Amino acid sequence: MNWDQVEGNWKQMVGSARKQWGKLTDDDWQVLKGSKDQLVGKIQERYGSTKEEAQKQADEWAKTQRAENEQLMNEPVVPKR
């Protein structure tokens, strides 16, 4: 998933991001609004990561989101009875 998609779906995705980076505060999440640059900065600040490490974490998380989203899209829909 690219970051334009992350930003566009931020409200749906923030729960997963909160699980990934539990040290970020509610105020941090409100400020981020899906911005990769701001997320990277907050990861650096809260976890003491380098910019490169934080960018790698953010990119890997976005890839995971893409893979999970694709898996959901490929699951057959079972009609309710």
What confidence tier does 42 reach under pLDDT thresholds 50, 70, 90?
A: very high
Percent of the chain with pLDDT over 90: 49
Which of 65, 2, 66 has its CA nearest to residue 36?
Answer: 2
pLDDT of residue 1: 66
Higher-pLDDT residue of 6 and 19 is: 19
Mean pLDDT calculated for residue range 37-47: 96
Total-model pTM:
0.76
What confidence tier does 21 reach under pLDDT thresholds 50, 70, 90?
A: very high
Give the burial string for 3-17 (b: 16+ CB within 10 Å, else e).
eeebeeeeeebbeeb
Q: How far are the Cα atoms of 2, 53, 67, 78 from residue 22, in angstroms, in the given order?
A: 22, 17, 22, 35
User: Tokens for 24?
Assistant: 């970020």
